[in-house]
């Protein structure tokens, strides 16, 4: 089957091209691999890389706004991001390898919502909101399940807005082969309370309420000790049982808190 390739110059034009089996192409780090393996065969590809202004990063006193087409490398390298939310720059710097970071984008990662991706933990843990060409979606409403988000078929992410937390840190434990997160934990102390988001452990990024309660009581590493995390429903594969992943969540949260305070 032939795949049509489009390179629109604006978001509006891109939206018009989204029909049938069309897929948006951002950095191509998941989609292109899927196409090569025969796991995806889109009727057309709508390449967002020709649209100017989607890759900017803006920081003000309240928030960090990252354009959907900003690469992981640019977020990792941004001094403004590193000053405002060091955890976010550090998370971006730990995604994939150098090539992935040079091409992969935040918008692509979020729209794909891989269960072991890092960015969903940042968005959920920091309580960000996802800006699309149609609306703003709160992080808590965005991630619906494995590779599933609240995005409508014709909707295009344009930016992500991260409120600046008091403190935050991300702790990633590698799956040894892929180096995706076996478990990744983002801990953030925000004006609205403590948020703990976990990626890699389940079918979709999730908040760990037990740890949030413990850390709201006292935002200190030892608060994570002995916090029970239910293993049921967590991933169980070659690289770790559900029990192992459940065990790692408070261990990593504790380290993240120590780092956030450090």
Partner 1 sequence: MGAPGLIGRSIERKEDYRFLTGRGQYTDDIVLPNQSYGVFVRSQHAHARLRGVDTAKAARAPGVLGIITGKDMAAVGSLPCGWLIHSLDGTPMKEPKHPVLAEDKVRYVGEAIALVVADTLLQARAAAALVEVDYDPLPAVARTATAAQAGTAVHDQAPNNVCFTWGCGDKSAADAAFARAAHVTTMEYVNNRLIPNAIEPRAANAGYSRADDSYTLYVANQNPHVERLLMTAFVLGLPEHKVRVVAPDVGGGFGSKIFLYAEETALVWASKRIGRPIKWTAERSESFLSDAHGRDHVTRAELALDKDGKFLGLRVHTTANVGAYLSTFGSCVPTILYGTLLSGQYATPAIYCEVQAVFTNTAPVDAYRGAGRPEATYLVERIVEMAARELKIDPAELRRRNFVRTFPFASPVGLTYDTGDYEATLARAQKIADVDGFAARRAASAGKGLLRGIGYSCYIEACGLAPSNIAGALGARAGLYEAAEVRVHPTGKVTVFTGSHSHGQGHETTFSQVVAARLGIPFEDVDIQHGDTAKVLFGMGTYGSRSLAVGGTAIVKAVDKIIAKGRKIAAHLLEASDADIEFSGGEFRVVGTDRKKAFAEIALTAYVPHNYPLDKLEPGLNENAFYDPTNFTYPAGSYICEVEVDPATGQVRVDRFTACDDFGNVVNPMIVEGQVQGGVAQGLGQALLEACRYDEEGQLLSGSYMDYAMPRADDLPSVKVETLAGTPCTHNPLGVKGCGEAGAIGSPPAVMNAITDALTSLGVRDVPMPASPYAVWTAIQAAAKH
Residues that bind partner 1 (CB under 8 A): 173, 176-178, 182, 238-241, 244, 247-248, 251
Tell the smallest beta-carbon distance from residue 227 to partner 1 (Å).
14
Tokens 């599933």 belong to: 148
Tokens 């403590």 -> residue: 194
Query: What's the closest the beta carbon of residue 255 comes to partner 1, in angstroms?
Result: 9
- Minimum CB distance to partner 1, residue 244 (Å): 5
Instruction: Kindly tell me which of 49 and 179 has the beta carbon lying closer to partner 1.
Output: 179
User: Over the Cα atoms of the chain, what is R_g?
Assistant: 18
Cβ–Cβ under 8 Å, residues 247 and 184: no
Is residue 35 within 8 Å of 41, Cβ to Cβ?
yes
CB closer to partner 1, 62 vs 203: 203
**Cα–Cα distance list, 40 to 21, 69, 107, 233 (Å):** 10, 21, 19, 27
Q: Region of 75 please: left (phi>0), alpha (psi -120 to 50) or beta.
A: alpha
Q: Specify the residue, 18 or 256, whose C-beta has the smaller distance to partner 1.
A: 256
Q: How many CB atoms lie within 10 A of CB 140?
A: 12
C-beta of 176 vs 192, nearer to partner 1: 176
> Using CA atoms, how far apart are residues 138 and 128, in angstroms rounded to an integer?
7
Q: Which residues pair with 52 in a beta bridge?
A: none
Output 183 or 260, the one with its CB closest to partner 1: 183
- CB nearer to partner 1: give 71 or 175: 175
What's the min distance (Å) between Cβ of 240 and partner 1?
Answer: 5
In sequence order, which residues have a C-beta less than 8 Å from that of residue 237 and are 6 or more positions away?
none
The CB-of-180 to partner 1 minimum distance in angstroms stands at: 8
Min dist CB 163 to partner 1, Å, is 31
Nearer to partner 1, 6 or 247 (CB): 247
Say if strands 23-25 and 44-47 run parallel, antiparallel, or are unpaired. Answer: parallel
Cα–Cα distance, 28 to 12 (Å, whole number)? 21
Min dist. Cβ of residue 225 to partner 1 (A): 11
């Amino acid at each position: 089957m032939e795949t049509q390739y489009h390179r629109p110059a604006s978001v509006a034009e891109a939206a018009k091209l989204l029909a049938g089996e069309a897929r948006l192409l951002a950095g191509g780090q998941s989609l292109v691999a899927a196409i090569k393996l025969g796991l995806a065969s889109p009727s057309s590809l709508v390449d967002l890389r020709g649209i100017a202004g989607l890759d900017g990063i803006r920081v003000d006193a309240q928030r960090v706004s990252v354009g959907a087409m900003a690469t992981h490398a640019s977020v990792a390298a941004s001094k403004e991001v590193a000053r405002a939310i060091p955890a976010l720059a550090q998370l971006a710097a730990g995604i994939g390898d150098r090539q992935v970071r040079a091409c992969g984008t935040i918008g692509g990662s979020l729209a794909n919502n891989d269960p072991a991706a890092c960015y969903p933990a940042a968005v959920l843990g920091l309580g960000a909101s996802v800006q699309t060409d149609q609306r703003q979606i709160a992080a808590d409403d965005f991630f619906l399940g494995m590779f599933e988000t609240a995005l409508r078929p014709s909707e295009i992410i344009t930016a992500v807005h991260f409120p600046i937390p008091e403190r935050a840190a991300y702790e990633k434990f590698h799956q040894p082969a892929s180096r995706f997160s076996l478990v990744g934990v983002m801990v953030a102390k925000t004006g609205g309370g403590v948020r703990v988001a976990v990626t890699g452990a389940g079918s979709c990024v999730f908040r760990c309420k037990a740890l949030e309660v413990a850390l709201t009581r006292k935002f200190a590493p030892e608060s994570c000790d002995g916090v029970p995390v239910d293993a049921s429903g967590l991933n169980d594969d070659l690289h770790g049982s559900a029990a192992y992943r459940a065990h790692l969540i408070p261990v990593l949260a504790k380290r993240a808190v120590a780092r956030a305070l450090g």
